[in-house]
Structure 1
């Protein structure tokens, strides 16, 4: 049966050349260009760098990025992969399937491209060739990490995420790719323009990861520097062994676990966001809220208005002679602050449906969590992609972790504060179907107090991640930037969680009053 998997792999390998003549010629040209690019990626760097140290830095960084992409990308995009569950109905044991899939991975176009790059890399680095046994063992170890890591990532994605959420995972992968593309271009330009720059700092960190350790170890061996040499080999070998040990239980679990079948009596088309969320209270509220944000003009007007404030602030700071750092860092946090704060009156905006939450006994934290979906769906990609563009404008890609921590921290804090204030101080707003520019007249507590207090609290609670991020931005150091990233995300997540829990408790306690407030002008 293992031989049949290999034959299936060979058939899949030749499939692009069995199409029509035009497509077959296109496949030949495409794969020839890919193999040429893989070989040139190994041949050209020695011609660009004058010193061995610069070449070692470049090889370690590029090798870590390529090997990391080979291992991590299958977690987000694995629709074309053979998976263990596809062979569950055949008379094969879990170990046979595991060995067959693992061994047959070498008969695939991605592996052949990686192999051509590895061979060209070893052939064009005479410093490495002075130690043939170590060179061979290390390059084989790189291939083992690639094969085992990609297999584990793909199987883990199918097992944990499942087919119903695969689209969300692919979307997350696409956002990350788009976000870091400008940074990658800027890093390449910085590296080739000034090879002695800050590129070395990040490379030294990558050299201690399982993806960069093999390449760093080869250059250390070639230069005679044995500091950390054994540890880097242990890191790479340990990661490969870990992937092997995890792969076999994953195959067994994949073949034994049965996904819950979709109910054929439930409509699966034409339901929009409801098709993409499970049938749980918070998820259903998320789907309905996302639908509102996409169709209700009241929400669209608010989204369009959010970028206006940063533009006005930019003009004011520009006229005042502010530097490029302030002008580049300011707009995105302000936009994210306003985006998260826009939830401060979501209960009143949802006045026609809030009664259904109370009548059905939905817990307050589920209501609060469900209403966060639009802000997170829009805000998280905006924060990641916008941070990438910000550091590109600033010309300093080393501060990317701090900028991401700053923006995500501000977003999470604003959303957490708004989750409390929307049930603590609600006020009537534009009714569904009315003009988004029409505001109801109400003699109770003014909307100004709720808006002012909520935005002030959000700004005050956002100061800690802003302070840590600015320290890391103005005093560029990798450790400080990493700490700013972790603190910003962690602090923001804690505030967001507390906002959901506190807002949920207030919702449970004052649900009848919320209905009264939202219907006071009907």
Structure 2
């Protein structure tokens, strides 16, 4: 099996040069430039007069980032990775297929580039020569760890997402990449200052305690004569490698003996817009319908255009009053996320006559509540992730990113949970489909003012705990405080969101006829 996979890998290596002569030349030049850049990046710290201590810090951080990328990237981009399922028809055991795929990964362009970077580090770091046998051992462990990360995460992604949700995973990966760019630029520029160098040294120490940075930290400790610390870090990397290998063979076995459920050939999958991308389940169908409304209905577009106005007015007012712009950078995003989620507080009324389909079909209320939150989540979560990175960039302090991210996600989730309750507990008539978005019907009941005020107040009150912990972490600048603010914000927000969906679902099931009556008052 290994020989067959070896021939396949060699063929895939040569496939990059197939086609026209111009394509072969272009591919060859591109690979030469890429290898030259990799070698130059590894050699740069040694030729730019950087001290040995700073080089050690850079190598640990860079190595941890590269190995972490081999762990994260294949989960979101797995199309170019061979899957064990492609060899299910071969008369070979799961162990043979798994071993062959693992070993022959070294004959792939990404690994050859990765290996060139590791070898360049070993050649250009003259201080590493005193590490003895730890140097080649650590580099080999790092290479094997990178292969194991790619194989396990790609197989896990293919098993979880399958073919249908590959595009959604790539989109999520792109959002995370865009969010990391300004943060990485800020963190890199911050290390040029004295305070930033101290923070970078602490980050390198923490990265060295992870399996991704441990091999490079082990080389540094061995070169410095601390054999015990070198063996401890090397053992950490080896332990992570063993865990991944123990996961790899069971993943191969599951992939070989379990097949994905085929799509129903009788169901049309073309020309249905958002309905093509969601399965035929109540919550997901409602999510597709809500996304269709948001993309076509001018009432939703007007609300989206109006949301950024409030934070802009606040920034102008505070700046005129003389507030520090770095502190003001923390204000706009939570306000935008709060208003985005709060805009759903009367979403049922926007359905007009369509709400009867949900009531007549007898769907569970929680499915209705969860499906209607799809547009807010698909807009709000990427906005929170990317916006948090931009916020810390403007604020000039990358160490507060966990607290800012926890604050923004918590505000979004809390407000979404509260509006899931209020949209069925206190609905009021709204603009009819086709009417001007700026026309509001008159209503003799409790009115829109009470529902809007109460939903906003409850959202603000319940958002106080995560905001409080985030503010404390931003002031303290402690790593543990920031991680606690992130964990508490996400966990607390999820609890409120789930409770809001469940409570709103119960109210939806109980008040179905009343909801139809409210939405059809002016129809």
**1:80 positional shift:** 1.1
CA distance in 1, matches of 2:70, 2:38: 14
Show the counterpart of 2:197. 196
CA distance in 2, matches of 1:131, 1:309: 59
Deviation by residue 1:316-365 (Cα, 9 ceiling, x = unmatched) = 11111111233100000000000011110011011222111111111111
TM-score (norm 1): 0.98
The reply to whether residue 14 of structure 1 matches residue 14 of structure 2 is yes
How many aligned positions are there? 522
Cα 1:92–1:476, aligned 2, differ >3 Å: closer, same or farther? same
Show the counterpart of 1:77. 77
Greater Cα offset, 378-387 or 51-60: 51-60
Contact 1:70–1:146, Cα closer than 8 Å, also in 2? yes
Cα 1:354–1:49, aligned 2, differ >3 Å: closer, same or farther? farther
- Which aligned pairs between 1:100-249 and structure 2 lie closer than 5 A? 100-194=100-194, 196-225=197-226, 228-249=229-250
- Which aligned pairs between 1:420-499 and structure 2 lie closer than 5 A? 420-499=421-500
**1:132 positional shift:** 2.6
**1:227 positional shift:** 6.6
Cα 1:126–1:282, aligned 2, differ >3 Å: closer, same or farther? same
Cα 1:73–1:321, aligned 2, differ >3 Å: closer, same or farther? same
Contact 1:190–1:197, Cα closer than 8 Å, also in 2? no
CA distance in 2, matches of 1:48, 1:76: 35
Deviation by residue 1:114-144 (Cα, 9 ceiling, x = unmatched) = 0000001011112221123111111000011
**1:196 positional shift:** 2.4
Contact 1:297–1:436, Cα closer than 8 Å, also in 2? yes
**1:46 positional shift:** 2.5
Cα 1:47–1:476, aligned 2, differ >3 Å: closer, same or farther? farther
Show the counterpart of 1:354. 355
CA distance in 2, matches of 1:226, 1:331: 51
CA distance in 1, matches of 2:91, 2:371: 45
**1:507 positional shift:** 0.9
- Gaps in structure 2 of 5+ consecutive residues: none
**1:505 positional shift:** 1.1
- Gaps in structure 1 of 5+ consecutive residues: none
Deviation by residue 1:5-41 (Cα, 9 ceiling, x = unmatched) = 1111101101111221221111112111111111111
Deviation by residue 1:485-509 (Cα, 9 ceiling, x = unmatched) = 1111111111111110111111111
**1:220 positional shift:** 1.6
Show the counterpart of 1:38. 38
CA distance in 2, matches of 1:153, 1:163: 15
- Which aligned pairs between 1:278-293 and structure 2 lie closer than 5 A? 278-293=279-294
CA distance in 1, matches of 2:368, 2:190: 47
**1:203 positional shift:** 2.0
Show the counterpart of 1:98. 98
**1:226 positional shift:** 5.3
**Coordinate RMSD, CA, aligned:** 1.3
Contact 1:347–1:423, Cα closer than 8 Å, also in 2? yes
CA distance in 1, matches of 2:192, 2:117: 21
Deviation by residue 1:420-464 (Cα, 9 ceiling, x = unmatched) = 111111001011111111111111111000000100110111111
Aligned-partner SS, 1:329: coil
CA distance in 2, matches of 1:131, 1:331: 51
- Which aligned pairs between 1:316-465 and structure 2 lie closer than 5 A? 316-465=317-466
**1:263 positional shift:** 1.6
CA distance in 1, matches of 2:379, 2:85: 34
Show the counterpart of 1:56. 56
CA distance in 1, matches of 2:7, 2:485: 51
CA distance in 2, matches of 1:352, 1:215: 64
Contact 2:287–2:372, Cα closer than 8 Å, also in 1? yes
CA distance in 1, matches of 2:506, 2:519: 19
Aligned-partner SS, 2:329: helix
Contact 1:201–1:478, Cα closer than 8 Å, also in 2? no
Greater Cα offset, 458-467 or 48-57: 48-57
Aligned-partner SS, 1:197: helix
Greater Cα offset, 186-195 or 381-390: 186-195
Cα 1:56–1:117, aligned 2, differ >3 Å: closer, same or farther? same
CA distance in 1, matches of 2:215, 2:374: 41
CA distance in 2, matches of 1:458, 1:180: 29
CA distance in 1, matches of 2:399, 2:133: 36
Deviation by residue 1:167-196 (Cα, 9 ceiling, x = unmatched) = 111111110000001111122222245562
Cα 1:49–1:370, aligned 2, differ >3 Å: closer, same or farther? farther
**1:49 positional shift:** 5.5
Contact 1:412–1:493, Cα closer than 8 Å, also in 2? yes
Greater Cα offset, 352-361 or 379-388: 352-361
CA distance in 2, matches of 1:492, 1:226: 46
Contact 1:398–1:478, Cα closer than 8 Å, also in 2? yes
Aligned-partner SS, 1:63: helix
Contact 2:190–2:197, Cα closer than 8 Å, also in 1? no
CA distance in 1, matches of 2:380, 2:204: 30
CA distance in 2, matches of 1:218, 1:514: 67
CA distance in 1, matches of 2:501, 2:386: 26
